Amino acid sequence: MHVSVMAAEAMECLAVRPEGIYVDATAGLGGHTSLIAGRLTTGIVIANDQDAESLEMARRNTAEWAGRIRFHQGRFGSLADAVKEAGFAKVDGLLADLGVSRYQLTEPKRGFSFLSDGPLDMRMDQSTGITAADLVNQSAEKALADLIYQLGEERRARKVARALVRARPLRSTLHLADVVERAVPRTGRIHPATRTFMALRMAVNDEPGELDRLLATGPELVAPGGRMVVISFMSIDDRKVKEKFRQLGREARATVLTKHPLQPTEEEIARNPASRSAKLRAVEMK
Ligand SMILES: C[S@@+](CC[C@H](N)C(=O)[O-])C[C@H]1O[C@@H](n2cnc3c(N)ncnc32)[C@H](O)[C@@H]1O
């Protein structure tokens, strides 16, 4: 079972009411969803994810609370539809735990990881959109370099892009990792392809655009007195969440509950090193 990041902190900030209506915007394998569902009596949690395969697993993992959960497959831009389809106008709380799940990251056939060989896919929603293979094999070198520089914050992006273009067609995750490693040898602790993989994943899934849509629609969906909680893993994402929540505060549309972001305890980091970079921010709508 997937280990949910900052589970206790997320539940405390959401302050689930037994009769409330909640959205888990990133249900994944259903970890946070089941924690919310377990606190409900007559309430409902709408479990949303763009990944059909994950939602299927979430459905199995949360079977115990099936009566309190409505599943919805879609991106952040369709959250308003998810709420409407479930028969509600507003919700009492919305949780988003950004990025990819442990499952997506470690399942070779999804193509997110260079720890094992797999197709260059990286789409969270495999029913639509361009794959990482499309991107690396078809983009102009300059566009590829810009993308790796901006989204991956890779200083050696030009070198990486040049090597990728020369090595086309790139066939698999290990092939890509190998080409990057030859172009930019390891300097620190992290694998030299880490930033390139992150940039491709963010571009394939339009993660910056998705976060913008979440931050635009989320506050509109949450009723006065309800909470919005976002857990992010990258500093560029946390910065956006912080700015948006501050703006809601300035406009007197919400109270910021986390002046500083909450972070996982040492104990959680020891148990689940992947939680290390998590930052949680919350607001209460007015
Ligand atoms: C970190 S995991 C969530 C794990 C989950 N909270 C749990 O406890 O099991 C993030 C999930 O969000 C989904 N996701 C990421 N961006 C999304 C978006 N823009 N729209 C819908 N789902 C998204 C991913 O497919 C992934 O399953």
Q: Whose CA is nearest to atom 18 of ligand 1?
A: 75
User: Could you tell me whether strands 69-73 and 44-49 are parallel, antiparallel, or unpaired per DSSP bridges?
Assistant: parallel
* Residues contacting residue 206 through CB under 8 Å, at least 6 positions apart: none
Ligand 1 contacts CB of residue 124 (under 6 A): yes
What's the angle, vertex CA 258, arms to CA 252 and CA 261, rounded to 5?
135
Expressed in angstroms and rounded, the spacing between residue 169 Cα and the centre of ligand 1 is 30
* Cα 63 to ligand 1 centroid, rounded to whole Å: 19
96 torsion bin: left (phi>0), alpha (psi -120 to 50), beta (else) = beta
Q: Candidates 22, 26, 231, 240: which one to mutate for ligand 1, based on the most atoms within 8 Å of Cβ?
A: 26
- Quote the percentage of the chain above a pLDDT of 70: 99
Q: Per-residue pLDDT tens for 162-174? A: 999 999 999 999 9
- Nearby residues of 273 by Cβ (< 8 Å), 6 or more positions away: none
Q: How far is the CA of 57 from the centre of ligand 1 (A)?
A: 13
- For 111-154, the DSSP string reads ---SSS--BS---SSTTSS--HHHHHHHS-HHHHHHHHHHHH--
pLDDT score of 2? 54
Q: Which atom of ligand 1 is nearest to the CA of 233?
A: 1
With a 6 A CB cut-off, is 26 part of the ligand 1 pocket? yes
User: What confidence score (pLDDT) does residue 230 get?
Assistant: 98
CB-based contacts of 136: which residues, under 8 Å, 6+ apart? 120, 144, 164, 168, 170, 176, 200
Answer yes or no: is the C-beta of 75 below 6 A from any ligand 1 atom. Answer: yes
What is the sign, positive or negative, of the torsion defined by CA atoms of 22, 23, 24, 29?
Answer: positive
Q: Which two tokens stand for residue 121?
A: 């896919």
Bond preceding residue 169 cis, omega within 30 of 0: yes
CA distances for 241 relative to 177, 213, 248, angstroms: 31, 12, 11
Q: What pLDDT, on the 0 to 100 scale, is given for residue 189? A: 86
At 187, the pLDDT band (50, 70, 90 cuts) reads confident
Q: What is the pLDDT of residues 188-244, one digit of tens each?
A: 888 999 999 999 999 999 999 999 999 999 999 999 999 999 999 999 999 999 999
- pLDDT tens by residue, 173-185: 999 999 999 999 8
Output the pLDDT for position 253: 98
Q: Which helix (H) or strand (E) holds 232?
A: strand 222-232
Q: Is 29 in the pocket of ligand 1 (CB under 6 A)?
A: yes
Joined tokens for residue 277: 């970079």
Residue 161 has what DSSP assignment? H
Sort residue 252 into left (φ over 0), alpha (ψ -120 to 50) or beta: left
Interior CA angle at 151 toward 149 and 157, to 5°? 20
Q: Compute, in angstroms, the gap from residue 49 CA to the centroid of ligand 1.
A: 6
The per-residue pLDDT of the chain, averaged, comes to: 96
**Arithmetic mean of pLDDT, 103-108:** 94
Per-residue pLDDT tens digits for 233-286:
999 999 999 999 999 999 999 999 999 999 999 999 999 999 999 999 999 999
